[in-house]
Amino acid sequence: MSWQPRPARVIGYLRAAVGLGLIMAPKAVARLQADHSPTGTTVLLIRTIGIRDLVLGAGTVAAAQAAGDEGVRRWITFGLLSDALDVVAGASSESLVGRKAALTAAGVPVPFVLADLWALGHLRAQRDAPQL
């Protein structure tokens, strides 16, 4: 197995683990941002985000296990798009949730945006490297 898929597997496993955490303990996650008990709507929203992350993570891991880079690139790109849009949605939500919550919502996906860009850079470098 080549080294190249490793960043994608790491990102996939981390994303899947975050998804499982959001699915299994949405109230604990919600309490990190609020001083009160979360509503049913909040718990449902957190679980749906967890489901999305679990699916994106599992797809990334599965693609990294398969031969070829195109599937890996596709899954990481979809994850990057999802995370980047989460940053935009969080940053533009100040009027709905207040400044602190909006900054938190915008900041939480940033590590995944950076990790996705890192993995895509490794895939690009691998593709552009001279074949021996």
- Domain-embedded: residue 1: no
- Domain-embedded: residue 19: yes
Does residue 3 register a pLDDT over 50?
A: no
Place of tokens 């100040």: 94
Q: How far apart are CA 14 and CA 38, in angstroms?
A: 25
Q: Given phi > 0 = left and psi -120 to 50 = alpha, else beta, which region is 98?
A: left
Residue type, 72: V
Structure confidence by residue, pLDDT tens digits, 83-104: 999 999 999 999 998 998 899 8
Structure confidence by residue, pLDDT tens digits, 18-50: 999 999 999 988 877 766 788 888 899 999 999
Q: Give me the domain span that covers residue 122.
A: 6-128
- Say which residues have a Cβ less than 8 Å from residue 17's Cβ, sequence separation at least 6: 57
Name the domain count of the chain. 1
What does pTM read for this prediction?
0.84
